[in-house]
Structure 1
Amino acid sequence: MNYGFVRAAAAVPMLKVADCEYNTGEIIKISKEAEKLGAQFVVFPELAVTAYSCGDLFLQKTLQNAAIKGLETILTETRALECVIIIGIPLVINSRMYNCGVALKEGRILGAVPKTYIPNYSEFYEKRWFCSGQGKKNETIDLLGFSVPFGTDVLFEAGNISGLCFGIEICEDLWAPVPPSSAQAVNGATLLFNLSASNEIVGKHEYRESLVNLQSARCAAAYVYSSSGPNESTTDLVFGGHALISEYGSLMAESQRFSFEEQLVVSDIDIERLINERLKNSGFTQDTTDNGFRKAVFNIKELETGNLLRRIDPHPFVPSNPGVRNIRCEEIFSIQTSGLAKRLKHTGLDKCVIGISGGLDSTLALLVIAKACDRLGLDRRNIHAVTMPGFGTSSNTLNNSLELMRLMGVTTYQIDIREACMKHFEDIGHDPEVYDVTYENVQARERTQILMDKANKIGGLVIGTGDLSELALGWATYNGDHMSMYAVNTGVPKTLVKYLVQWAADYVFGDETRKVLLSILDTPISPELLPTDEAGEIAQKTEDIVGPYELHDFFLYHMVRYGANPSKIYYMAKQAFEGKYSEEIINKWLNTFLRRFFSQQFKRSCLPDGPKVGSISLSPRGDWRMPSDAEAGEWLGDMKK
């Protein structure tokens, strides 16, 4: 099973200007190298058979004939290869010359696509030689004995792999206001290939990279771009050999510019991910297709499974680059504080109530409340923070919560819930020596009752602390910590919470507060509902019970964001967490995730309001609409395949 992945390559070959025999040999050599690497597609630069910078030599019959002979040689010498080869070549058709991209496979010409936008400004004067392919549709040409579809209406569709379809555009086409690839994508192309000859001037490579990434994002596609290298003529221009592979806005692979050696960049593309994006994107769900597109059908060998030639990020919610991560944290924090500030303004209330446990989630929520009050010009004494030690509260978390509240300058309460819980055990006939779900949930609901009643007493809002990961797993007591009047962390996954607290410690608050925040960051994640150990330390650790949050966040991201099958998630997780978790451990916790995700939907169906901060939200009023009694059988069954 290939799980929807295909392998594409962008080649920058060695070349000699106007030496078709040499260039043909290089194309054949690199095509064979790409095949050995398992590439199913390889694209070469614009006019790679002749070189781009031939000038008026394009008008010479000698060069035209040599190019066709080179094409014939490539066909013959790559007949045994299973990959699709896309080359650039000048073609003379009906006394007009076109700058074309030609797709070849196993000795057969699949089709030829002419360049639409012919640059004729500054250093470019292509109209001197080439005609635009604009309007060229429904045409067929005879090429080396093949009846070949020719025109800008040609797409190439794999007959044996669902959703695998590619389109071709050439260089300037990408720089146009409406690139041909946009129409190609709307009509089914998930892979977009660009054969280019883009010269280098200061800063151009950055703009070029932006164009490739943005077009792949706009088209919900993979964009594979190959541009001519420095072996082109340098009479007036220098070419850098910039090859790029981008998937849905993310750069997957890139060549080194200005290398005189051949280059081949390869990456695996997730076609299933792209299709899932399109299923949710109104630009694709609306019927805007142009039935004038033709499909040239081919079959392709499936990608052999093994480690993918792409990085599988083990922490997809958390940017790996520290600078980017800090910017992301600042933005999320601003979204949270703005959401709460608006809710306070709308309700006309100027007080907040929050339970502080000394853990990460309630810490982040308190920091958000403090900054929201600062933005509204409210005294932080309007924040009524309550720490409620129970049977499992450790001295460390209690001290951290008290110190944090002091440093935040909030109104502080310490209410021990143990006596009230014991009375409740007596009322409902529960043995307090039985540490079951009743024992735990009584404490959670007692705390929520205190917070709600306190809010009513002072005229304030109870601010929820639960995060996105807990919502996914249903790791919350129904009508306990599950409930609040506004939940500021509802869109933040657990793996990101700690980075937000770390960011706040480093950039937002002073040294004293930072010290406490770092202590909280070092505390094991726990609901602290079961008694502490003999040393008074936390005995109940959440990740020992439900599994590592980094695994659950990985599962959540790929299942909800991209609709991936559990077996595919498992396959990717094995690579992402290789050397950290065994296959058995990943399998165990993925099954746990699936069972809990389905069985706990009823808690998500009645969530309090809270801000969406990233691409995934489980709000029943927004992104996630799921029946509370859906069966998990199909998903669990997929794990057994």
Structure 2
Amino acid sequence: MQNGFIKTAAIAPEIRVADPVFNREQMVEQMTKAAAKGAKLIVFPELCLSGYTCGDLFLQEKLLTEGEEQLRILVDASRDVDALVFAGTTWQENGKLYNVMAAFCHGELLGVIPKIHLPNYGEFYEHRHFTPGNRQVVDVEFVDLDGNSSWIPFGTDILFQCETMKSLVVGAEVCEDLWAPQPPSIRHALAGATVVVNGSASNEVVGKSAYRRNLVVGQSARLFCGYVYATSGPGESTTDVVFSGQNLIAENGTLVAEAKRFRNGITYGVLDVEKLVAERRRNTSFGPMENEGYELVEFSLDVEETVLGKVSPSPFVPADGKEQTERLEEILSIQSTGLRKRLEHTRCRYAVIGISGGLDSTLALLVTARAFDSLGLPREGISAVTMPCFGTTDRTYQNACVMSKAVGATLREIPIRESVRSHFKDIGQEESVHDVTYENAQARERTQVLMDVANQLGGLVVGTGDLSELALGWATYNGDHMSMYGVNGGVPKTLVRHLVRYSAETCGDSALQKALLDVLDTPVSPELLPPEEGKISQKTEDLVGPYELHDFFLYYVLRYGFSPEKIYRLAKAAFMGVYEDAVILHWMKNFYRRFFSQQFKRSCLPDGPKVGAVALSPRGDWRMPSDACSRIWLDEVEAL
């Protein structure tokens, strides 16, 4: 439960229809097992104590009274279980029978949530036996196993808040309620619920599993919530229908876990309620808060460290397979469409790119070629300018030339050594002193050349810098920091690699493919220091740290605003066996230091397209003062 994580369990236990004693025994066993595995929120299916398919047996007094007794035993069995549990059962009140979810924790019944929308179609005739619930919360009497009487809330508008993790607020709905035009979960979320549970008995027919999955995942997305869906398994009657036990756990539009169908069992999933709160905080269309008429019931759980599942080390990179291919193609389309609009608006038929043979300029060249193709412009209008200087190696130079020719751009070589030396002479800089002036003079000279060439052609300079470099400030102010349109400004370095590799695999040109693959194998470098024995001497990741770590930090800092402590915990899980904890901490400190100190470069960025959920444009996603203090973040890193 630390850092907002909570392990949940959706359970489809083995049951026997109309045998509450057997069903309770199975539920106690599974509940205890799930809690022992660290689950703090446990959900059972609809009418699990009796079985959903009892039919007119629901009108038998014996079944109902036995169900009441077994509920008392089940609640009592939770005394030593550190979890909030929801179980489907029947409930009699004022001569009416209700289909409810009973919520209990540590041996105490906390509340009863009745089903509102009762199906009365196909093989389901719930109106024959049950009365619909309503929103109004009333107090009803419950007599526990020891004979003690207490009054508990009964109604749909009940939320359960954890005293030891205030961001964990749980609401409940029952099966068909989710299928209705206005599910109770909408109100629950607007009233503050960060997690919604659903005890269901949804039968299986061809095609329904996909619909059910989409429904649960979609509801979690529109409500920015976690959704735990537990449904009946094969133990229900198969007189007319079959139940599959397709338990589902979703978080804000992402399927966290899904059970294999047609079997009983427990499905586990870890939810991050802090992430959900952060999403709601960012999205001002969520709300306003509407909790009138709701009753808030508090419960308490032990604060323990939740064992995290798999954490992706590359949060910016889509999963492998068809989804990744589609996403990479979409990103390239976004980049090229942005540039296309700028070229159209400025009536430019020429684009100028500084081509170095590195990853970023390679991607910019590929994107520009796409933009020209979409406009019907000849690719000869792309002026690919290589500007060799003190740090240029033959490897990157040759790759730059091959790629430029392969895409059909006009290759132009403009050496800048003598221009930089003249500048050194003007300012009194010794060429033998390889300091920041030595490096930045080259970067600024290259930018000046590109701007002037663009003026000659009546074109625009396409920027090559990526999102990771902007985050770290790894750009020369008014050097490679500046352009007329930055196509890579929304693409982090880890994603640049995948886009270039995808282009290599799909380009259909052997010479271009060979050059692109070699670019991928070339160390990332600005090549501003003289090479050693013809090889790159200045490796960016040796200086600022591994980009895969910085991109990981960047994603969680910008996307969710997580604290350093939480990001460190996630990073340890994601990079286990790759980086030692001390290494992660070292580069995390460097990330925060650079991120804050280099904001002034981001405050005056050229235009460029946003491609994902994270961006650093000062006009859009990230508005930060250039002189903000990093103290509280660095203090927390130091304390880890």
> In the alignment, which residue of structure 1 is the partner of 2:473?
474
Q: Distance in 2 between matches of 1:626 and 1:424?
A: 35
CA contact (8 A) 1:555 1:569 kept: yes
Q: Distance in 2 between matches of 1:428 and 1:283?
A: 55
Larger mean CA deviation between 603-612 and 275-284 belongs to 275-284
CA contact (8 A) 1:360 1:498 kept: yes
Tell me, yes or no, if structure 1 residue 619 matches structure 2 residue 617: yes
Amino acid corresponding to residue 337 of structure 1 in structure 2: S
CA contact (8 A) 1:6 1:302 kept: no
> In the alignment, which residue of structure 1 is the partner of 2:501?
502
Deviations along 1:543-600, one digit per CA (max 9) or x if unpaired, are: 1110100000000001110111011111110110000000010000000000000000
RMSD of equivalent CA atoms: 1.1
Map 1:206-217 to 2 at 5 A.
Answer: 206-217=210-221
Tell me, yes or no, if structure 1 residue 179 matches structure 2 residue 183: yes
SS of the residue 1:104 aligns to:
strand
Shift of residue 287 of structure 1?
Answer: 2.4
Map 1:3-402 to 2 at 5 A.
Answer: 3-134=3-134, 136-144=135-143, 145-259=149-263, 262-284=264-286, 286-305=287-306, 307-308=307-308, 310-402=309-401
SS of the residue 1:268 aligns to:
strand
Shift of residue 509 of structure 1?
Answer: 4.2
Moved over 3 A (4+): none
TM-score by length of 1: 0.98
Q: Distance in 2 between matches of 1:56 and 1:321?
A: 50
SS of the residue 1:282 aligns to:
coil
Q: Distance in 2 between matches of 1:120 and 1:138?
A: 25
Shift of residue 638 of structure 1?
Answer: 1.3
Amino acid corresponding to residue 438 of structure 2 in structure 1: Y
SS of the residue 2:165 aligns to:
coil
Q: Distance in 1 between matches of 2:150 and 2:49?
A: 19
Name structure 2 gaps, 5 residues minimum: 144-148
Q: Distance in 2 between matches of 1:566 and 1:126?
A: 51
SS of the residue 1:538 aligns to:
coil
Shift of residue 162 of structure 1?
Answer: 2.1
Q: Distance in 2 between matches of 1:48 and 1:303?
A: 29
Deviations along 1:158-205, one digit per CA (max 9) or x if unpaired, are: 122121100000111111122111110111101110000011111111
CA contact (8 A) 2:46 2:175 kept: yes
Q: Distance in 2 between matches of 1:396 and 1:82?
A: 61
CA contact (8 A) 2:402 2:511 kept: no
Shift of residue 41 of structure 1?
Answer: 1.1
Aligned-pair identity (%): 52
Shift of residue 288 of structure 1?
Answer: 4.5
CA contact (8 A) 1:435 1:530 kept: yes
TM-score by length of 2: 0.98
Amino acid corresponding to residue 190 of structure 2 in structure 1: V
Shift of residue 34 of structure 1?
Answer: 1.3
Q: Distance in 2 between matches of 1:10 and 1:551?
A: 34
CA contact (8 A) 2:217 2:255 kept: yes
Amino acid corresponding to residue 376 of structure 2 in structure 1: G
Q: Distance in 2 between matches of 1:522 and 1:128?
A: 69
Deviations along 1:490-512, one digit per CA (max 9) or x if unpaired, are: 00010000111111121244222
SS of the residue 2:58 aligns to:
helix
CA contact (8 A) 2:44 2:87 kept: yes
SS of the residue 1:163 aligns to:
strand
Name structure 1 gaps, 5 residues minimum: none
Q: Distance in 2 between matches of 1:428 and 1:503?
A: 45
Q: Distance in 2 between matches of 1:378 and 1:331?
A: 21
> In the alignment, which residue of structure 2 is the partner of 1:437?
436
> In the alignment, which residue of structure 1 is the partner of 2:146?
none
Deviations along 1:111-166, one digit per CA (max 9) or x if unpaired, are: 000111111112221111112113x4131111222211011111111122121100
Q: Distance in 1 between matches of 2:404 and 2:105?
A: 68
> In the alignment, which residue of structure 1 is the partner of 2:581?
583
CA contact (8 A) 1:138 1:151 kept: yes
Deviations along 1:429-458, one digit per CA (max 9) or x if unpaired, are: 111111111110000000000000111111
SS of the residue 2:120 aligns to:
coil
Q: Distance in 1 between matches of 2:40 and 2:436?
A: 54
Tell me, yes or no, if structure 1 residue 552 matches structure 2 residue 550: yes
Shift of residue 294 of structure 1?
Answer: 1.1
CA contact (8 A) 2:192 2:289 kept: no
Q: Distance in 1 between matches of 2:138 and 2:344?
A: 64
Deviations along 1:26-51, one digit per CA (max 9) or x if unpaired, are: 11111111111111111000001001
Larger mean CA deviation between 507-516 and 519-528 belongs to 507-516
Q: Distance in 1 between matches of 2:231 and 2:476?
A: 57
Tell me, yes or no, if structure 1 residue 602 matches structure 2 residue 600: yes
SS of the residue 1:164 aligns to:
strand
CA contact (8 A) 1:192 1:224 kept: yes
SS of the residue 2:335 aligns to:
helix
Deviations along 1:296-330, one digit per CA (max 9) or x if unpaired, are: 1111212325x41x221100011222221111000
